[in-house]
């Protein structure tokens, strides 16, 4: 059961609700988000009289949620949640394309990439300063220096930035460098200590699906973040591992409508990591937008052949321009904008 408090409810009113639930033999979990406070009631709520709780001062609504992912469940929030990233809305009528290189390499490369992102009409930029790689001998990213180069380039163009956080010990560095959206990668989807830490701040989080994770497991990972008070969560489908070797991963387009049914949070797609080849990205992007995705996370490099990481799947600036033109038409058909 979820008890949603009014936006101006005082701490004393929240405590009163908590005490009432305890008196009903319920355990409680209080999630303090930016816009609302949610009190979760855990226990046998079958015979609890909702009207008694609704009558308590400061209570806005009471919702029975049978699913284990109570805060992120569709039942807990009547409308779609829109996550605001530096004035850019993710989850609204506009499909947002987040573009940029797989990894931060040089200042010149990032400056060129930022210019190309803006020229294509994208409103957010991606870039990895810390890179999880299968081989310990592969390029691991520039670290904090990479965050500095990234911000130098993106701020000149007025672009909010998205970058992957791998280690909880680097969270302070991400906050210090004002990363606008923290990405939790596929390998860390069930790094519960990391999820709890990003749940304790209000910076938006892109939560990528684990390479072999079920949707139920993915939703529960998001619940870890939401339970600590951060409700600014964006799901990112990036393909799941299968027996097939013709492409990098299987893009699960079915996950988009399923998540839209299960949760009120935005859903975006990473077609670059799904296909693993640049020539696949346009087709997968078109499918994702047509299926209802709220955005795309696309790799683009000023000179893909020279990329230090994932060169095969990076689009060129011209290819990104062409893709944006195609996607505008699809978005328009389904009543959205790009």
Tens of pLDDT along 100-140? 999 999 999 999 999 999 999 999 999 999 988 788 878 88
Q: Is the pLDDT of residue 197 over 90?
A: yes
DSSP string covering 275-291? H-SGGGHHHHHHHHHHT
Between CA 223 and CA 215 the distance in angstroms is 12
Q: Is the pLDDT of residue 47 over 80?
A: no
Q: Which helix (H) or strand (E) holds 145?
A: helix 144-156
For the domain covering 2-64, report its CATH number.
3.30.70.1140
Q: Which of 125, 129, 27, 103 is nearest to 310 (CA)?
A: 103
Q: Is the pLDDT of residue 188 over 70?
A: yes
Residue 104: both structure tokens together: 């931060």
Q: Is the pLDDT of residue 154 over 80?
A: yes
Please give the share of the chain, as a percent, with pLDDT higher than 90.
Answer: 73
pLDDT band at residue 43 using 50, 70 and 90 as cut-offs: confident
Output b/e per residue, 173-205; b: 16+ Cβ within 10 A: bbeebebbbbbbbbebbbbeebbebbbebebbb
The mean of the pLDDT values for the chain is: 92
Domain ranges of the chain: 2-64, 83-333
Q: Is the pLDDT of residue 232 over 80?
A: yes
Which one has a higher pLDDT value, 173 or 39? 173
Mean pLDDT, to the nearest integer, of 158-185?
96
Q: So what's the pLDDT on residue 71?
A: 86
Q: Is the pLDDT of residue 171 over 90?
A: yes
Contact between 234 and 83 under an 8 Å Cβ cutoff? The reply is yes
Q: In terms of CATH architecture, what is 83-333?
A: Alpha-Beta Barrel (3.20)
For the question of whether the overall pTM of this predicted structure is more than 0.95, the answer is no
Which one has a higher pLDDT value, 310 or 238? 238
Q: So what's the pLDDT on residue 34?
A: 66
Q: Is the pLDDT of residue 194 over 90?
A: yes
Between CA 116 and CA 132 the distance in angstroms is 25
Task: Answer whether 2-64 and 83-333 agree in fold.
Answer: no
Detail the DSSP E strand segments found in 15-148: 27-32, 37-42, 59-63, 83-85, 88-90, 96-100, 124-126
Tens of pLDDT along 275-310? 999 999 999 999 999 999 999 999 999 999 999 988
Q: Is the pLDDT of residue 66 over 70?
A: no
């Amino acid at each position: 059961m979820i008890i949603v408090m009014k936006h101006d409810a005082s701490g004393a009113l929240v405590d009163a609700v908590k005490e009432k639930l305890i008196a009903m033999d319920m355990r409680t979990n209080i999630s303090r988000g930016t816009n609302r406070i949610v009190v979760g009631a855990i226990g046998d709520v079958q015979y609890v009289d909702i009207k008694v709780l609704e009558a308590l001062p400061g209570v806005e609504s009471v919702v029975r949620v049978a699913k284990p992912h109570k805060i992120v469940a569709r039942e807990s929030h009547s409308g779609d949640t829109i996550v605001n990233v530096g004035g850019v809305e993710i989850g609204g009528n506009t499909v947002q394309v987040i573009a940029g290189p797989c990894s931060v390499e040089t200042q010149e490369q990032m400056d060129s990439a930022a210019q190309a992102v803006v020229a294509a009409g994208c409103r957010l930029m991606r870039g990895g300063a810390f890179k999880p790689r299968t081989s310990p001998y592969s390029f691991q990213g520039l670290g904090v220096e990479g965050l500095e180069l990234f911000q130098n380039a993106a701020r000149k163009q007025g672009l909010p930035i998205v970058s992957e956080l791998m280690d909880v010990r680097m969270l302070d560095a991400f906050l210090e460098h004002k990363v606008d959206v923290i990405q939790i990668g596929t390998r860390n989807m069930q790094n519960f200590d990391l999820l709890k830490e990003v749940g304790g701040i209000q910076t938006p989080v892109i939560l990528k699906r684990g390479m072999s994770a079920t949707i139920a497991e993915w939703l529960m990972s998001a619940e870890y973040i939401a339970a600590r008070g951060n409700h600014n969560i964006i799901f990112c489908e990036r393909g799941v591992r299968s027996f097939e070797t013709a492409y990098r991963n299987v893009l699960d387009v079915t996950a988009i409508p399923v998540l839209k049914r299960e949760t009120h949070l935005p859903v975006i797609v990473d077609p670059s990591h799904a296909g693993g080849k640049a020539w696949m990205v346009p087709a997968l992007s078109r499918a994702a937008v047509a299926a209802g995705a709220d955005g795309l996370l696309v790799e683009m490099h000023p000179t893909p052949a020279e990329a230090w990481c994932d060169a095969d799947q990076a689009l060129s600036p011209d290819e990104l321009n062409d893709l944006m033109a195609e996607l505008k038409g699809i978005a328009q058909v389904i009543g959205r904008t790009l």
